[in-house]
Amino acid sequence: GENVEQHPSTLSVQEGDSAVIKCTYSDSASNYFPWYKQELGKGPQLIIDIRSNVGEKKDQRIAVTLNKTAKHFSLHITETQPEDSAVYFCAAMSSSGYSTLTFGKGTMLLVSP
Amino acid sequence: DVKVTQSSRYLVKRTGEKVFLECVQDMDHENMFWYRQDPGLGLRLIYFSYDVKMKEKGDIPEGYSVSREKKERFSLILESASTNQTSMYLCASRGTGKRPEAFFGQGTRLTVV
């Protein structure tokens, strides 16, 4: 089955800096890669996603890149703000079988004012 | 907006009790999922359902069962709760075809004493 590795597990940045979280996946049949943000006491919320026919996608301060050959994808947050502090999860979904999401273990991002 | 609602935010149950966690979605999604979230382990799939009365085991089904009698409702059942089932439980739903986005409920924090 699919295996998703996520790094780093924790990330501390100063407000205004950029933050990058990286994930690798194992199943070459995976074709959908969402990113979720989870604030304390809440369920994960979808913030951006990318499909395998696209190399990059951007939405305001966040962007995701995908390298299918290397089987890795990354989340980029620019001009970080304290409200970006949360746990971020990457996931991959295979096009084979039942198409379930496999998640990375998460990255706790702390943005200091 | 998609809404996934879990019946309880917090539950405290005794060892050996039968526990029901309920989840309802309002987007007519075919697929529903139960995940368990533990620190350092990320989100792990317990069970999922791709249609009414259909269910499939995820990665960690032991000690759990599920029920899907109606399309909008997916229940997770702990037949005999144990302390190692103390965790955050997250329900999610997803459509099929061109809309693969999965949406989560707010989570149920279960403590078994």
Which pLDDT tens digit goes with each residue over B2-22? Answer: 699 999 999 999 999 999 999
3-state secondary structure of B83: helix
Task: Point out the residue among B43, B100, B107 whose CB comes nearest to the CB of A103.
Answer: B43
- Structure confidence at residue B113 as a pLDDT band (50, 70, 90): very high
Q: What's the pLDDT tens digit per position in A59-69?
A: 999 999 999 99
Per the CB < 8 Å rule, is B42 touching A44? no
Contact (CB, 8 A) for B102 and A103: no
Say how far apart CA A45 and CA A35 lie, in whole Å.
Answer: 8
Nearest-5° angle of CA B37, CA B38, CA B43?
35
Q: CB contact, 8 Å: A44 with chain B?
A: yes
Rounded mean pLDDT, A86-103: 89
Contact between B103 and A46 using a beta-carbon 8 Å cutoff: yes
Q: Is A19 at the interface with chain B, CB within 8 A?
A: no
Q: Residues 6 or more apart from B53 whose CB is under 8 A from it? A: B68, B69
pLDDT over threshold 80, residue B53? yes
Subunit contact A44:B43, Cβ cutoff 8 A: yes
Quick: pLDDT tens for B66-88: 999 999 999 999 999 999 999 99
Give the distance from residue A52's alpha carbon to the nearest chain B alpha carbon, in angstroms.
13
In chain B, residues with a C-beta closer than 8 Å to the C-beta of A93 are: 100
User: In 3-state terms, what secondary structure has residue B5?
Assistant: strand
B101–A34 C-beta distance less than 8 A: yes
CB atoms B42 and A99 under 8 Å: no
Q: Would you say residue A93 has pLDDT above 80?
A: yes
| Inter-chain CB proximity A32 and B100 less than 8 Å | yes
Percent of chain A residues past pLDDT 90, beyond the cut: 87
- CB–CB contacts below 8 A, A to B: 50
**CB-CB under 8 Å, A93 with B107:** no
Tell me which residues of chain A, numbers 84 to 113, contact chain B at a CB-CB cutoff of 8 Å. Answer: 89, 93, 98-106
Span A34-76, pLDDT tens digits: 999 999 989 999 999 999 888 999 999 999 999 999 999 999 9
Query: Which residue type, as a one-letter code, is found at position A23?
Result: C
Instruction: Please report which confidence band the pLDDT of residue A1 belongs to, taking 50, 70 and 90 as the band edges.
Output: confident
CB contact under 8 A, A49 and B101: yes
Rounded to an integer, the average pLDDT of A89-97 is: 87
Burial zone of B25 (CB within 10 Å; 0-12 exposed, 13-18 middle, 19+ buried): buried
Q: Which residues of A fall within a CB distance of 8 Å from B106?
A: 42-43
Task: Indicate the DSSP class of residue A83.
Answer: G
